[in-house]
Structure 1
Amino acid sequence: MRLQLSTWPDIQHYLQHSTGILVPIGSTEQHGPNGLIGTDAICPEVVAHAVGERIGALVAPTLNIGMAQHHLGFPGSIAFRPTTLIAVIRDVVQSLARHGFRHVYFLNGHGGNVATANAAFAEIHSDNSFSGREDAMPALRFANWYMGQRVQVLSRELFADSEGSHATPSEISLTWHAYPDCARPMTLEPRLAPSSGFADAADYRRRFPDGRIGSDPSLASVDAGTRLFEASVADTLEDYQAFVRAD
């Protein structure tokens, strides 16, 4: 069930039997020579939609732009400042809370969002604490589609040390599962991209000229993406159901 394809009476009816909602969150940023710019938003979106369809859970519109300033050296990347993303997450949660949602599950596709989302959650809890309100804010959960146990095992089986940390064959395979017409198999040089830390966008571009970090996305395939999709749906469905039952 998708929020943007529902009417307000549909949502009112949904809240009579569930107060949970999935919010896909990602980024709009480069993913190497053969990865889609929307990769980090596409991955959690397709997984969340599948979970919603399988168990009748409500799925919010995807938050497509994330904290990705370090990718701005590559054309097409769009980023929020950390303070902007904190405000976006805060407003989303408080909007949903006003309507009676009590379990807000963010399914993430971008590692750069993690610290900022945790800061947003701290701000949300602080709002409630300093206001002196006694009514509880919604329970909040932030999960990465690629960190579930099944996905981790499968990624190691498929790609071993070639997974890397950005423009990975796992995430690119999942986007190709979702959009097979966009698959762009190619040989890359060097096969395995370098790895190191980075600071701003200019530093990132100097260190990683083709956008990859430690990965070999030439190993990506539609078939691998389908297997990773099913693994992540199983991981996420299990985790979401435990989350909404926890209270």
Structure 2
Amino acid sequence: MRLDLCTWQEVERYLEHSRGIIIPIGSHEQHGPNGLIGTDAICPEVIARGVGERHQVLVGPTLGVGMAQHHLGFAGSISLRPSTLMAVVADVVSSLVRHGFTHIYFLNGHGGNIATVTAAFSELYAEQSLAGGAAGFHLKLANWFLGRRVMEVTDFLYGGSNGSHATAAEVSLTYYAYPDAAKQVEMSPRVAPDGPFRDSADFRSKFPDGRMGSDPSSACAEHGEQLFEAAVEDTWRTYSQFVDGALRAAR
């Protein structure tokens, strides 16, 4: 179920039996020689829609631009400031809560979003606490790439060469979603270096082709389908636990 394809009357009917919604969140940034710039938005969007279709969960619009300042040394990357992303998350949550949603689950595809989105949650809860009331909403951030089944499949397919950015797993998932966009590119070195970085200039100098510790040359749609199935399973499990657990705690 997609929010953008619903009428407002259909959303009201949904709220009669469920107060939960999934919001995919990602980034638009370079993903090495063969990864799509929209990778971090495409992955959670595809997974969330898979969950929505199979389990009748409402899926909101993808927040496709995230905190990616460290990728701005590569053409096409777009970044929000942390403060801007926090404001976007807060406004999305506030809008949904106003209509009666109480369980808002952000499915994330970009590691650079984690600290900022978590801080946005803290600000929203603090606002309620400082006003002297209890928050009438529950928020969760889940990273699709850290799901139990996804990590098992990733380890089986790629072992230690998956890396931490422009990974074989995420590239494969985008190829499953958009097979016509798949690219064959020779990697040199085969496995990219890894390590800490500071800003966009530092990142570009240390990782000149955009990869971190990864070898995405083996990425393919067939692997992507396996990862999609694993991610839908992971997401449904954690989403349902989030909604059911919060409801039990409120009773």
For residue 138 of structure 1, report the CA deviation from its aligned partner.
1.0
Partner amino acid, structure 2, of 1:185: Q
Alignment gaps of 5+ in structure 2: none
Structure 1, residues 92-111: CA drift from partner, whole Å, max 9, x if none?
11111111101000000000
Partner amino acid, structure 2, of 1:233: V
Distance 1:6 1:131 in 2: 34
Structure 1, residues 79-128: CA drift from partner, whole Å, max 9, x if none?
00111111111111111111110100000000000010110000000111
2:52 aligned with 1:69: no
Q: Where does 1:39-118 land on structure 2 (aligned, <5 Å)? A: 39-118=39-118
Distance 1:238 1:144 in 2: 13
Match of 1:157 in 2: 156
Secondary structure, aligned partner of 2:107 = strand
Partner amino acid, structure 2, of 1:138: F
Distance 1:79 1:137 in 2: 31
Structure 1, residues 8-45: CA drift from partner, whole Å, max 9, x if none?
11111100000000000000000001000000000000
Secondary structure, aligned partner of 2:105 = strand
State the Cα RMSD in Å. 0.7
Match of 1:15 in 2: 15
For residue 133 of structure 1, report the CA deviation from its aligned partner.
2.8
Match of 1:180 in 2: 179
For residue 219 of structure 1, report the CA deviation from its aligned partner.
1.3
For residue 137 of structure 1, report the CA deviation from its aligned partner.
2.8
Distance 1:66 1:48 in 2: 17
Q: TM-score, normalised by structure 2?
A: 0.97
Q: TM-score, normalised by structure 1?
A: 0.98
Secondary structure, aligned partner of 2:23 = strand
Match of 1:36 in 2: 36
Distance 1:186 1:92 in 2: 38
Distance 1:131 1:77 in 2: 39
Secondary structure, aligned partner of 2:24 = strand
2:20 aligned with 1:4: no
Distance 1:221 1:50 in 2: 19
Secondary structure, aligned partner of 1:141 = strand
Alignment gaps of 5+ in structure 1: none
Partner amino acid, structure 1, of 2:43: C
2:203 aligned with 1:238: no
Distance 1:92 1:14 in 2: 18
Secondary structure, aligned partner of 1:120 = helix
Distance 1:216 1:185 in 2: 12
Contact 1:125 1:137 in 2 (8 A): no
Distance 2:58 2:207 in 1: 39
For residue 186 of structure 1, report the CA deviation from its aligned partner.
2.0
Instruction: Spell out structure 1 runs of 4+ moving beyond 2 A.
Output: none
Distance 1:145 1:36 in 2: 17
Structure 1, residues 160-205: CA drift from partner, whole Å, max 9, x if none?
0101000000000000000000000222000010111001101100
Moved more, 237-246 or 110-119: 237-246
Contact 1:185 1:220 in 2 (8 A): no
2:136 aligned with 1:148: no
For residue 130 of structure 1, report the CA deviation from its aligned partner.
1.2
